[in-house]
A and B are shown apart, each in its own frame.
Chain A
Amino acid sequence: DGGITQSPKYLFRKEGQNVTLSCEQNLNHDAMYWYRQDPGQGLRLIYYSQIVNDFQKGDIAEGYSVSREKKESFPLTVTSAQKNPTAFYLCASTPLGESSLDTQYFGPGTRLTVL
């Protein structure tokens, strides 16, 4: 089945540790996105990538890093520099083009808790 997978579903880390969240898609989508969602808030864009080996900062990129070595994979690293990392992280992907906005697919999310 085609779709986006994120792992793990729940993640616990101690303060000061870096942690990497996985996002994989087999939809052959060009663009991939990472969002963060906090309680009572909408989704805020962290990073996005439109092609392999290229990515851009979103609205809240500080304390995060990404890579896009393969079209199907867009891992997000939450570094120790991120002051409030506890949140729900959503990955999304979409083909590029005018008609693609209604086909932005979201993964199931990873809930990260930093103790």
Chain B
Amino acid sequence: EDKVVQSPLSLVVHEGDTVTLNCSYEVTNFRSLLWYKQEKKAPTFLFMLTSSGIEKKSGRLSSILDKKELFSILNITATQTGDSAIYLCAVPEPFGNEKLTFGTGTRLTIIP
């Protein structure tokens, strides 16, 4: 059974700080890893990572995958209050049916 573990479960930092969120996984046949941001309602897609060592970047957010050590990190620099959210990591089943296994999420709170 696929397993996704995120840490920390909760993180509180001051505006302007840099944070690193972790996601480790165990899957039988790795295809990709996805990061989502969930504010009040629907998760919104951030990144999909398939190749090891290649950083994906979008503004102040970046993510990288290490397929050897089976983990990914999501970095947010110069945090803003709008970054407060739950960040979810997920991996799909290996057989192409797009069924995702999610981690527990990291609740990030940015204090002004």
Instruction: Determine whether A26 belongs to the interface, using a CB cutoff of 8 Å to chain B.
Output: no
Q: Which of A95-114 contact B (CB under 8 A)?
A: 96-98, 100-104, 106-109
A64 within 8 A of B: no
Q: Does A45 contact B (CB under 8 A)?
A: yes
Q: Give every chain A residue within 8 A of B103 (Cβ-Cβ).
A: 42
Whether a CB of chain B sits under 8 angstroms from the CB of A41 is: yes
Q: How large is the interface on B (under 10, 10 to 19, 20 to 34, 35 or more residues)?
A: 20 to 34
The number of residue pairs between A and B whose CB atoms lie closer than 8 Å in the complex comes to 63
Is B29's CB within 8 Å of the partner chain A?
no
Given A98-B96, A101-B48: A40 in contact with B41 (beta carbons within 8 A): no
| A100: contacting residue among B9, B42, B98, B104, CB under 8 A | B98
Q: How far does the alpha carbon of A62 sit from the alpha carbon of B57 in the complex, in Å?
A: 40
- B6-A42 in contact (CB<8A): yes
Please name all residues of chain B whose beta carbon is closer than 8 Å to the beta carbon of A68 when the two chains form the complex. Answer: none
Q: A74: CB under 8 A from chain B? A: no
**Which residue of chain A is the closest to B104 with respect to CB atoms?**
A42
Asked if A58 is an interface residue, CB under 8 A from chain B, the answer is yes
CB < 8 Å: which of B6, B42, B45 contacts A102?
Answer: B45
Is A109 a contact of B96 with CB atoms below 8 Å?
no
On chain B, the residues within 8 Å of A31 by CB distance are 97-98
Give every chain A residue within 8 A of B97 (Cβ-Cβ): 31, 48, 50, 96
CA distance A104 to B9 in the complex (A): 24
Q: Mark B5-44, 1 if CB is under 8 A from A, else 0.
A: 0100100000000000000000000011010000001111
Contact of A106 with B99 in the complex, beta carbons under 8 Å: no
Q: Please, what's the 1-or-0 string for B95-112, where 1 marks a CB less than 8 Å from any CB in chain A? A: 011111111110100000
| A-B pairs with beta carbons under 8 Å apart, 12 shown | A41-B105, A42-B88, A42-B104, A43-B100, A44-B102, A50-B97, A98-B96, A101-B34, A101-B48, A101-B100, A102-B34, A104-B100
